[in-house]
Chain A
């Protein structure tokens, strides 16, 4: 009897998770298909599924969030989302049958999928079997999910304006809370475990992207240890800082590869990671800005290679459309926030200047610098040593590492400014958040180190041509 019960529950969980991924894949193809192939039913480029699928999943996450925000009611958005997803799936299946990729599952790709499954399954247990105990997870992210679930709506009825929830940073983006509420809505109840499946939906596309860099090299092993594993409990405790850092660093990884090979899928995937950041945390705006600055710098330094992307941006309407779809949930949530008077606790505005000036005058900026530096010290040591090794071995500067370094620098500077303008007690604000916020800076520095290490390995076949 016990075995039967366990088998049924395993089946239920597998069904829930796999249907979630199918749901996202279908929605994602409606944007990814035209973006990559110029068609929904014909694959014009031979792009490996290992690169296409994470892009579809991430795009699906954004489209699904957009649908929830637009229709507001969970039930209705689930029905509309399912219709959209089924039509997308139909087109995807047709495109697969019309044009089966030449290298659908080579031995190398097979081992990559095994690796992806292994890493994802390793994290599945801590994500789903550890209940929500962390402070922000309970007070912010999964509380918002609970509010959406019980109101069956992300709209005003959820209770965003209720005076008792003002502590909960109600203005924060709702991508993960919305998915968590959807999951709870699907199973029909709330508990402290199952809504965390939303974190798994965020982890899988990131892990697949990570494995597109897989090689039998030491550098990839280090990358794997550094990216998901050095984030520790931030992957499963319900805070979103780990996922924020993961997607930010992935964007820089993909931009780095774009510099080397100029493949549009890397640029598009990098941007999709940056857009997802907008919907994970408010810091996503700063991350997007940092990422764009990095891209502009690459544009200046690697003019010839970026020529393709300029043509891509100026001449093709489909990129405008995809950009619009990617930014629409941000616009919608901003409008709602304005209409419902949901303000941010940082009170950013003209009054911020006086706080910055006062902190510069009273010397508390030193505390900010010291605390920030302490967090990034180890990764800087890693970068420094690998840079000196590269210099001693007379290697040229590794251009792929540039986006990560530029974005890390700008993001770090932005965070320092945020600490300088915070209306909260500075020591409290630093002590409760600096370690989490610096995860993103650290992971970008790791990415830069990874690229330099990879060039030191002198592995000319370091990147397998996946296209």
Chain B
């Protein structure tokens, strides 16, 4: 008798297109969880299995569960919370010292301390000696650091015809025929005819 009932239930279940659709969705969800397992995303697998079970037990899914699901993803898989923390910290810093923040914003040439120390020294040398163009020694021309030099020192430009060279202290011998104009801790400005 029980087997007959079960058989009837299964037959009725598969005759309903709605149920078939649901079954297809559940299978797809299970397949998705499985693929995530093989991709090595254990966190997502746990999440999908939890979701699948909730969906099977409780249909229609209560809006609170949906809310919880979304919150979990937003909290763990996006940087939204970190952003909120960072924004909060920045706002608190500004509130604590509005004068300093405003002074930075509304004064010329502020913020140059973000440049690498050597670029700051180069800038100082070029400004102190009123130089309008320059060349870099091989040591400074190589690598990505040249981008910081070019943009940091702009509008003073690198020109291949310039007689002013920015070199490091250990390159002095290579520029022995040039006149030493000025220097800082790491950088030397020379004039080569």
Contact = CB atoms under 8 A, between A and B. Distances in A.
A378 B73 contact: yes
Interface stretch (B4-12, B83-91, B168-176, B179-187): B83-91
B99 to A, nearest CB: 4
A382 B101 CA distance: 39
A416 B159 CA distance: 39
B59 to A, nearest CB: 5
Interface size class of A (residues with CB under 8 A): 35 or more
Given A126-B90, A138-B151, 14 more contacts: A9-B102, A123-B87, A187-B106, A189-B108, A193-B104, A193-B105, A193-B110, A230-B74, A232-B83, A377-B41, A384-B32, A393-B60, A393-B61, A456-B66
Given A139-B151, A192-B111, A233-B86, A389 B66 contact: yes
A6 B110 contact: no
Interface of B: 18, 21-22, 25, 28-29, 32, 41, 44, 47-48, 51, 55, 59-61, 63, 66-67, 69-71, 73-74, 77-80, 82-84, 86-87, 90-91, 93-94, 98-99, 101-114, 146-148, 150-152, 154-155, 157-158
B90 A232 contact: no
> By CB atoms of chain B within 10 A, which of A131, A143, A187 has the most?
A131
For the complex of A and B, 3 pairs with smallest distance between CB atoms: A192-B111, A378-B77, A189-B108
A333 to B, nearest CB: 21
A399 interface: no
Nearest to B148: A138
Nearest to A458: B63
A12 B110 CA distance: 17
B61 A378 contact: no
B158 to A, nearest CB: 4
A162 interface: yes
Interface in A422-467: 453, 456-457
> By CB atoms of chain A within 10 A, which of B28, B87, B114 has the most?
B87
**Per DSSP, are chain B's interface residues mostly helix, strand or loop, or mixed?**
helix
A76 B8 CA distance: 84
Interface string A1-28: 0100110011011000000000000000
Interface in A163-210: 164-165, 167-168, 187, 189-194
B98 A6 contact: yes
Contact of B63 (A165, A190, A382, A456): A456
Interface in A107-139: 122-123, 125-126, 128-133, 138-139
A46 B48 CA distance: 47
A90 interface: no
Interface stretch (A218-226, A243-251, A253-261, A345-353): A218-226
Contact of A125 (B29, B84, B101, B147): B101
